[in-house]
Structure 1
Amino acid sequence: MQNYQRDWLQRMLPRLALSPSLAVILVFVYGFIVYTSYLSSTNSKMFASTDLIGLENYVRLFNLPNWHLALKNLGIFGGLYILICVCLGLFLAILLDQKIRGEGLIRPVYLYPMAVSFIVTGTAWKWFLDPGIGLEHVMHLWGWDSFTFRWIKETNTAIYCVVIAAVWQSSGFVMAMFLAGLRGIDNEVLKAAQVDGASPYHMYRRIVIPMLRPVFLSAFVVLAHMAIKSYDLIIALTNGGPGRATELPATFMYSYTFTRNQMGVGAASAVIMLMTVAAIIVPYLYSELRERQHERN
């Protein structure tokens, strides 16, 4: 009897220890996801309402010019952000993989920006890009009076300032992912290619980079998720301006929910963002689970 109780306690103790955290996640994550979905189908304005209106909020959402602008900005920001981070991260990882001297010092320098919050990154780059106190001001003090760099003040170029700040923060993390992938490649494969006379360019193009396909996929999923939910970087760097030049779906959702008192429309935009993230992450998780199941069999 005592052995049975002890075995039962050993089995249940981990579950009992995790149950409070699971309960909190169930309520404050999945519960609020369900509640937000419910609000998106109601006539909620400043306060939540129980008057169901079906998909009317979604129709209104996709008829708003600001939502289309937010989607356009997300396409520009997300596309450039993912592309530059992947290319720069791969380039830096290849450089560090050459066993250069001082790698132990250089690698943390590249990784350091990821340890900084997006609020700090946005504030720092806002100061750096501000013509009155940043790069342009410093260049004028050094005598280059003709130098101008006012991207952050121009509606056509402000979104690229967001790209610059985001790439600075995330490229080191992508570099670490690619470096781990490069260090995991079997050296015997590379030595065999060298014996066959393959040049470094062809070796990376035909052997190394194709073998990094899982890393490319993981980097894309992580970066796409970060791009879709970007909010704090935008608020700290441009606050969605000038005008609405850098508004993204996340800032749109906040403004329509808490500033314009259109809670139903804001909830609908949040659901669209969730569905977009799920459309990226769910197939990735499915492929990972499928590969693991295949390896086990």
Structure 2
Amino acid sequence: MSISETANPRGSVVDRLRDALPKIVLSPTVAIVAIFVYGFILFTLYLSFTNSRILPSFEWIGWQNYENLFRIRAWDTAVSNLVIFGVLYITICCALGLLLAILLDQRIRAEGFIRTIYLYPMALSFIVTGVAWKWFLDPGIGIEAVVRGWGWTTFEFNWIKDSQMAIYTIVIAAVWQTSGFVMAMFLAGLRGIDNEMLKAAQIDGASTLALYRRIVIPQLRPAFMSAFVVLAHMAIKSYDLVIALTGGGPGTATELPATFMYSYTFTRNQMGIGAASAVIMLMTIAAIIVPYLWSELREKK
């Protein structure tokens, strides 16, 4: 034992308390997350193998809920809609976000004001976005009514009422809300590119198109990966936007896995099937996020 510890034994106690204080403060949060996030994930996984209806049941039935799930036509429709929505949503958001970022990267005037306008939709909730776009797309009061009021009486834009086109209205609203956020991600990536490299390429005679195709865009790979992961998980768990905009209709034309899960769990009282669909959604998100996190950690090492 050192002389300082012998002279002041209470100092070591104070130091231990100081070291333990962050753990003590964080322990309730960690416990809450462990119970109400990971605990309920495990509970949902267990329910997906039980004969649960309106209330949880502990009668084990194995894979029957998953077998029944893939026999339900509404689930096939939800998965098909998710593929259409996800592909268009991610592709258009990335393309539009990259274009907006390139335009803002030209050091234009009022860049801060324009960037704020692009980012503003992301500050709104998906409920607000859904309600607003529902008004815009309603043939009676929205874009169709306005254009007809200007004199084009044959103009039609009734996608929200058309079962074949309604899913594309979800894409329009989602792209409007999220493309500004993707733009900010790409703009941060563009500002991190070494200007000396770009100047050297320009001196060597590289055109603007070749500059972006061979130097700029390849260096935005981390931004593309981040945007893909964020947009993909937002597409998979999309619920509030669909409910506010179309309610899953007409019929089941805009049904997505998240709305299917809610309706079968709380409306049709098929908790086991709803839990099975939730587990599949979770596994899909994990299949996207886990490889991304693994690659990021590997690069850091």
Residue by residue over 1:158-213, the C-alpha shift from the partner in whole angstroms, topping out at 9 and shown as x without a partner, is 00000000000000000000000000001111111111110110000000000000
When the two chains are superposed, the root-mean-square deviation of aligned CA atoms in Å is: 0.6
Give the corresponding residue for 1:259. Answer: 267
Give the corresponding residue for 1:44. Answer: 52
1:279 and 1:88 map into 2 onto residues whose CA distance is 26
247, 251, 256: which one aligns with 1:243: 251
Unaligned segments of structure 2, at least 5 residues? 1-8
**Counterpart AA for 1:26:** A
Give the corresponding residue for 1:199. Answer: 207
Shift of residue 89, structure 1, vs aligned partner: 0.1
Aligned length: 293
TM-score, length basis structure 1: 0.98
Task: Work out which of the two has the higher radius of gyration on C-alpha atoms and give 1 or 2.
Answer: 2
Shift of residue 2, structure 1, vs aligned partner: 1.9
134, 145, 155: which one aligns with 1:147: 155
**Counterpart AA for 2:279:** V
**Counterpart AA for 2:42:** V
**Counterpart AA for 1:117:** S
Give the corresponding residue for 1:75. Answer: 83
1:154 and 1:17 map into 2 onto residues whose CA distance is 54
Tell whether 2:121 aligns with 1:113.
yes
Give the corresponding residue for 1:287. Answer: 295
Tell whether 2:227 aligns with 1:224.
no
**Counterpart AA for 2:31:** A
Residue by residue over 1:75-122, the C-alpha shift from the partner in whole angstroms, topping out at 9 and shown as x without a partner, is 000000000000000000000000011101100000000000000000
**Counterpart AA for 2:191:** R
71, 90, 99: which one aligns with 2:98: 90
Unaligned segments of structure 1, at least 5 residues? none
**Counterpart AA for 2:126:** F
Shift of residue 247, structure 1, vs aligned partner: 0.1
Shift of residue 140, structure 1, vs aligned partner: 1.8
Tell whether 2:204 aligns with 1:168.
no
2:123 and 2:25 map into 1 onto residues whose CA distance is 30
2:277 and 2:66 map into 1 onto residues whose CA distance is 8
Shift of residue 68, structure 1, vs aligned partner: 0.7
TM-score, length basis structure 2: 0.96
**Counterpart AA for 2:144:** E
